[in-house]
Amino acid sequence: MEGVSDDAGFASPVAASSAWESSARSYAGRFPRVFVAAQGPWLIDQDGRRFLDFLGGAGVLLLGHNHPDVQAALAAQARPVGNSLDLLTDAKLSFVETLHGVLPGDLARTHKIHFCGPTGSDAVEAALKLAARATGRRGVIAFHGGYHGMGQGALAVSSSRRLREAGLLMAGQVAFCPYPYPLRFPEPFRTPEAAAGFCLAQLRLMIEDDHAGQELPGLVLLEAVQGEGGTIVPPPGFLREVEALCRRHGILLGLDEIQSGLGRAGRWFAYEDDGIQPDLICVSKGIGGGYPLSLLLFDRRLDVWRPGDHIGTFRGQSIALVAGKATLEVIARDALPDNAARVGARLKEDLARRTAGHPKIREVRGLGLMLGIETDSGATADALQAALFQAGVIVETGGREGAVLRLLPPLTIGAAEVEACLEAFAGALECVS
């Protein structure tokens, strides 16, 4: 970076990056430091300043940075296979064995694994294709506030108008249903139960009314907890009702657990408490232990793929499979879903208490260590994010109008990190009072 700065005469490496990097870059502008090291929940910049990383690669870093067990597993590989496409490797076989050991319920027996390209978006593309092929129906119902990635299919089932502007979308094949969001719903739908009832009534009409303007869909796709949409948790039983509607009409149920899965929501998958069995589950982010890996779990009876139907060069990266296996083992060994539930509940409670009555904070919500603080505007959220960064804490913003601060810390955090976050938050709140 020094070279860039000196040669080009820029005032700082960050100024240089704004000259050579695409204007689509986002975090580099908001957190204008050069990070040179990281450990656990900490990022360290070139001046040696430590930042509490509650962004965590947008939820990727379930164990934080450079977890010793993951590092040891990577170091133990004598001559690792690099890219193996979908050849069988020992890294892949032992990853699958470990994954089967931790999958909840009957999934290891009932579901197959499709290794996709390396990002979450690739798993969503695979889910859309498989559902269309298996049902013979191309229609999809997705949800307001849903975010599924940047591929054209994934974008077509994502709701943001701004992001959709860039897409060559599957016109006419995707219809959007409201997702329970009591805070922003009109009266009388401002309780979780009423909001869920309203959404389910809409979904029922979209499916059952033969004048709903769309063919009967093959797939209903949703996040078990919405992430980018603003950390929105549907009330208990909502997913069960969605599943029942799907079953009644021969529609596949697809869950995107890319952000909410693998312990973040205080259980292995966020859908578990509803006692459902999704046909398709998209998994990515933390599954590769910090390295790119993405997969689709799908019910065995749907395996209508022909060889090569959904492929990609980077389906078999040993480094991600080894790091992913080590990560799953640590999550299971250290009961990290329980830690996420316990620590997340405390953090949520403390944040709610400290913000109660603040004129610019509307709600604190979330599940496990997927927490959101909804403010009165994008400007307030931006100001809080900047003040937190000044105080040494990095958080995400998102949701409608960008008004939600989003916390996605590692599942390993304890009381000290919670305290540091709360202290920084108290100071940041004063900046927007």
Ligand X SMILES: Cc1ncc(COP(=O)(O)O)c(C=O)c1O
DSSP bridge pairs for 142: 176
Q: How far apart are CA 54 and CA 358, in angstroms?
A: 23
- Report which residue's Cβ sits closest to ligand X: 120
Residue 406 engages ligand X in binding (rule: CB under 6 A): no
Considering only 58, 96, 332, 352, the residue that binds ligand X (CB under 6 A) is: 58
Q: How far apart are CA 180 and CA 402, in angstroms?
A: 18
CA distances (Å), origin 289, targets 41, 294, 367: 14, 11, 21
Q: How far apart are CA 328 and CA 165, in angstroms?
A: 37
Do residues 139 and 173 make contact, with C-beta atoms less than 8 angstroms apart? yes
Site string for ligand X, 261-300 (x = CB under 6 A): -----------------------x----------------
Q: Which is nearer to ligand X, 43 or 142 (CB)?
A: 142
Total of residues contacting ligand X (CB under 6 A): 15
Residues 6-25 that bind ligand X (CB under 6 A): none
CB under 6 A: which stretch of 146-154, 167-175, 176-184, 306-314 binds ligand X?
A: 146-154
Neighbours of 229 (CB within 10 A): 23
Using only C-alpha atoms, the chain has a radius of gyration, in whole angstroms, of 22
What three-state secondary structure class fits 77? coil
Residue 318 engages ligand X in binding (rule: CB under 6 A): no
Neighbours of 343 (CB within 10 A): 22
Positive/negative CA dihedral, 163, 167, 172, 173: negative
Verify cis geometry, omega within 30 degrees of 0, for the bond prior to 188.
Answer: yes
Residue 397 engages ligand X in binding (rule: CB under 6 A): no
Residue 231 engages ligand X in binding (rule: CB under 6 A): no
Q: Which two tokens stand for residue 134?
A: 């298996």
Q: How far apart are CA 239 and CA 272, in angstroms?
A: 10
Considering only 17, 98, 119, 173, the residue that binds ligand X (CB under 6 A) is: 119
Site string for ligand X, 181-220 (x = CB under 6 A): ----------------------------------------
Q: How far apart are CA 236 and CA 429, in angstroms?
A: 31
Q: Which is nearer to ligand X, 64 or 261 (CB)?
A: 261
The one-character DSSP state at 150 is S
- Least CB distance to ligand X at residue 228 (A): 5
Neighbours of 316 (CB within 10 A): 23
Residue 315 engages ligand X in binding (rule: CB under 6 A): no
Considering only 54, 115, 147, 269, the residue that binds ligand X (CB under 6 A) is: 147
- Least CB distance to ligand X at residue 351 (A): 21
Site string for ligand X, 74-113 (x = CB under 6 A): ----------------------------------------
Q: Which is nearer to ligand X, 224 or 428 (CB)?
A: 224
Tokens 């900047």 belong to residue: 386
Residue 256 engages ligand X in binding (rule: CB under 6 A): yes
Task: Please name the residues in contact with 116: beta carbons below 8 A apart, sequence gap of 6 or more.
Answer: 122, 123, 125, 126, 294, 295, 296, 310, 312, 315
Residue 228 engages ligand X in binding (rule: CB under 6 A): yes
Do residues 130 and 310 make contact, with C-beta atoms less than 8 angstroms apart? yes
Residue 302 engages ligand X in binding (rule: CB under 6 A): no
- Least CB distance to ligand X at residue 320 (A): 12
- Least CB distance to ligand X at residue 409 (A): 16
> Which parts of this chain interact with ligand X (CB under 6 A)?
58, 119-121, 124, 147-149, 223, 227-228, 256, 258-259, 284
